[in-house]
Structure 1
Amino acid sequence: MVKQLHDIPFSVLDLAPIREGGTAADSFHNTLDLARHAEEWGYHRYWLAEHHNMPGIASSATSLVIGHVAGGTKRIRVGSGGIMLSNHAPLVIAEQFGTLESLYPGRIDLGLGRAPGSDQAAARALRRGLGSDGSEFPEQLSELRAYFDANGAGGRPLGVRAVPGEGLNIPIWLLGSSGFSAQLAGQLGLPFAFASHFAPDYLLPALHLYRSSFKPSAVLDKPHVMIGLGITAADTVEEARRLATSQQQQFLNIIRGRTGKLQPPVDSLDGIWTPQEKAMLLSKQQYSIAGDPSLIKERLLEILEETAADEWIIASQIYDHSARLHSYKLVSELLQEQ
């Protein structure tokens, strides 16, 4: 059967943006407000991402913010998109997410990434004696999964237990922007989420690698893919494209090796970016959509045909909170059309 847009669960990826002129406290207020609206509008999951040493992102203490959102909502699944496991001892993550699952049973997801989610200086400050190149990720993942195993399966240090955590069924997702996590997720039979909103060139190869390497497990009997998309929706294409310049300025700062708060939209980036920067930025936005509902629906149908996605997760870096709410509402309405 051919998938339709209304067949696919859709979720929110919140980077907890700190706006120019705003504070982290404002960001947390807006995050909870968006989560409550997302729950009302039919979004399936609400994920928060771990980043460090970034003045424009407030979700560095990711588990705490997940608890903030889960405590202020009723039904929507809440989780990480993701926890950067190389920054942490697996036991600590098992205990944190065991605590969250005990407080909010049946609603917590644990998405895991291999990258540090920070610059090199912050990575060194976080990791201290831990490895630094991501090669330890499979071993850390094995140890983490063992802490949740009620039968005390191998992989964790002898005599060490996660309390709370042990025996709890917390769905684990692997997140990636390249082939490493795709292949590992396939081999372990875990669901896989790809960050196509900032690594578009690797999307299709990673999906092929995941699906071709997939081995059924106690978790999944067939591959399950979530696609990350950047979407800015408004009543008109022109307004959506103007709102999307906040996210484009954020990408531009990354290209230039800078960080900063989320900037207000501008009418045009001409004079702000160079021709080379423009070409580089636009090449990274193959799976970022700015438009009215009609344009967004058309592009989503193309991506669905291209990827056969099982779920969407949508990131919308919009400066004005009311405009961000409106964007997510428009997207929810078009994805639920019969």
Structure 2
Amino acid sequence: MTGYSLLDLVPIIEGGDASLALAHAADLARQAEQSGYNRYWVAEHHGMPGIASAATSVVIGHIAGATKTIRVGAGGIMLPNHAPLVIAEQFGTLDALYPGRIDLGLGRAPGSDQTVSRALRRTLESDPQQFPRDVMELQSYFADDGQTGVRAVPGGGAKVPLWILGSSLFGAQLAAALGLPYAFASHFAPAALDQAIAIYRRDFKPSAQLSKPHVMLGFNVIAADSDEEAEYLATSQQQAFVAIRTGRAIKLPPPVAGYRDTLGAHGNAVLDQVLECSAIGSRETVARGLAAFIERTGADELMLTGGIYDAEKRRRSFALAAEAMQSLGAQAAAAE
């Protein structure tokens, strides 16, 4: 059975602020726990007016504190922005507070543009190929093996599973070489999806953390009681994607009837490409979209996401998505 988890960008809506976004995130996380989601991840983005998860480890603590059993983690921490020791201490602290519940997904993108990256790092002179070395340094801190000459306290001995995130072949190759689970960002960058999965599975080397490949794939879901309502709700996320692609990131806007009719052929083609891995519609429509994606990819786990302006309708969407995944799981079990 394919597992299902939830990626929350902690959207700041038009007319709202970060406090409201974080309160809605806690509410959504509690519902996700009740709906059987495996994990609830938030992502590191900076300088984005519509995303409230920049201080990712702090937000993880907020979500973990609002829930009881669901795994909570980063999808992901952009490791080039941080010294590995700092991340080991932060996630070692989270593990001490919420033992057995913390995940750490790692990416090498900046999470913003070069101006913001320079403000974060103070310099852009670091070698982008240092990411694999940084991952192994982080592993060393958690293993408390003394190889770095520095102990992470908290952090040393923490049982925090590492994941490699990516949207290209690089992450697939690294995850396979290190024997780590791999999460592909197909929810916004699907171009290399099939090739990345094939490389990861072909080249995977078992490790102390993982004995066989584990693939988690991002997938957009906008679910409602009817296809028409879902298509309408989806225009909020569509507007946000178009804004990002045109260099003007915005807060998550309200839905707009007939929005796609205003984009023209080129705009719709771009949006279709970016959001290729999506299911929009009723629970039944979404279930068909999820089933087709799982059949195509053989995903071990899906990381569901979706931007909806109204918080109650967003919770409803993820509840319907969970029901769809559960129905697919029941069908798979019955067929065995």
Deviations 1:226-277 (A, max 9, x none): 0110100001111101100111001101121111100100111246424212
**What secondary structure is seen at the aligned counterpart in 2 of 1:258?**
coil
Aligned residue number for residue 320 of structure 1: 310
Using the TM superposition, give the Cα deviation of residue 283 of structure 1 relative to its aligned residue in structure 2, in angstroms: 1.3
**1:86–1:130 Cα contact (<8 Å) kept:** no
Measured in 1, the distance between the counterparts of 2:11 and 2:213 equals 32
Measured in 1, the distance between the counterparts of 2:123 and 2:133 equals 16
Measured in 1, the distance between the counterparts of 2:25 and 2:219 equals 18
Using the TM superposition, give the Cα deviation of residue 133 of structure 1 relative to its aligned residue in structure 2, in angstroms: 6.0
**1:255–1:277 Cα contact (<8 Å) kept:** no
Using the TM superposition, give the Cα deviation of residue 105 of structure 1 relative to its aligned residue in structure 2, in angstroms: 0.2
Aligned residue number for residue 333 of structure 2: none
Aligned residue number for residue 137 of structure 1: 131
2:79 is aligned with what amino acid?
L
The runs of 5 or more residues in structure 1 that have no matched partner are 1-6
Aligned residue number for residue 42 of structure 1: 36
Deviations 1:63-86 (A, max 9, x none): 000000101110000000000001
Aligned residue number for residue 334 of structure 2: none
Using the TM superposition, give the Cα deviation of residue 294 of structure 1 relative to its aligned residue in structure 2, in angstroms: 1.1
1:96 is aligned with what amino acid?
Q
Measured in 1, the distance between the counterparts of 2:280 and 2:52 equals 24
Instruction: Map 1:65-144 to 2 at 5 A.
Output: 65-129=59-123, 131=125, 134-144=128-138
CA RMSD in angstroms comes to 1.2
**2:144–2:151 Cα contact (<8 Å) kept:** no
Could you say if the C-alpha distance between residues 142 and 86 of structure 1 is closer, same or farther in structure 2, counting changes exceeding 3 Å? same
Aligned residue number for residue 163 of structure 1: 153
Deviations 1:197-246 (A, max 9, x none): 11111110110111111111111111100011010000111110110011
Using the TM superposition, give the Cα deviation of residue 120 of structure 1 relative to its aligned residue in structure 2, in angstroms: 1.2
**What secondary structure is seen at the aligned counterpart in 1 of 2:129?**
coil
Measured in 2, the distance between the counterparts of 1:150 and 1:77 equals 23
**1:172–1:190 Cα contact (<8 Å) kept:** yes
Could you say if the C-alpha distance between residues 69 and 241 of structure 1 is closer, same or farther in structure 2, counting changes exceeding 3 Å? same
Deviations 1:113-169 (A, max 9, x none): 1101111110111111464563210111111111011332x3x2x2x1100000111
Which one of the candidate residues 143, 147, 153 is aligned to 2:141? 147
Could you say if the C-alpha distance between residues 176 and 258 of structure 1 is closer, same or farther in structure 2, counting changes exceeding 3 Å? same
Which one of the candidate residues 261, 282, 290 is aligned to 1:300? 290
Aligned residue number for residue 26 of structure 1: 20
Measured in 1, the distance between the counterparts of 2:126 and 2:234 equals 34
Say whether residues 1:257 and 2:278 are aligned partners: no
Could you say if the C-alpha distance between residues 51 and 130 of structure 1 is closer, same or farther in structure 2, counting changes exceeding 3 Å? same
Measured in 1, the distance between the counterparts of 2:260 and 2:17 equals 29
Measured in 2, the distance between the counterparts of 1:114 and 1:238 equals 38
Q: Which deviates more, 216-225 or 13-22?
A: 216-225
How many residues align? The count is: 328
Could you say if the C-alpha distance between residues 247 and 147 of structure 1 is closer, same or farther in structure 2, counting changes exceeding 3 Å? same
Measured in 2, the distance between the counterparts of 1:279 and 1:52 equals 28
Could you say if the C-alpha distance between residues 118 and 132 of structure 1 is closer, same or farther in structure 2, counting changes exceeding 3 Å? farther
Q: Which deviates more, 271-280 or 114-123?
A: 271-280
Measured in 2, the distance between the counterparts of 1:92 and 1:98 equals 10
**What secondary structure is seen at the aligned counterpart in 2 of 1:135?**
helix
Measured in 2, the distance between the counterparts of 1:306 and 1:8 equals 13
**2:260–2:268 Cα contact (<8 Å) kept:** no
**2:182–2:214 Cα contact (<8 Å) kept:** yes
The runs of 5 or more residues in structure 2 that have no matched partner are 331-336
Using the TM superposition, give the Cα deviation of residue 301 of structure 1 relative to its aligned residue in structure 2, in angstroms: 1.2
Aligned residue number for residue 215 of structure 1: 205
Deviations 1:157-196 (A, max 9, x none): x2x1100000111000000001101100001100000010
Higher helix share: 2
Say whether residues 1:62 and 2:52 are aligned partners: no
TM-score by length of 1: 0.95
Q: Which deviates more, 248-257 or 94-103?
A: 248-257
Could you say if the C-alpha distance between residues 66 and 257 of structure 1 is closer, same or farther in structure 2, counting changes exceeding 3 Å? same
1:33 is aligned with what amino acid?
D
**1:86–1:131 Cα contact (<8 Å) kept:** no
Measured in 1, the distance between the counterparts of 2:22 and 2:126 equals 30
**What secondary structure is seen at the aligned counterpart in 1 of 2:33?**
helix
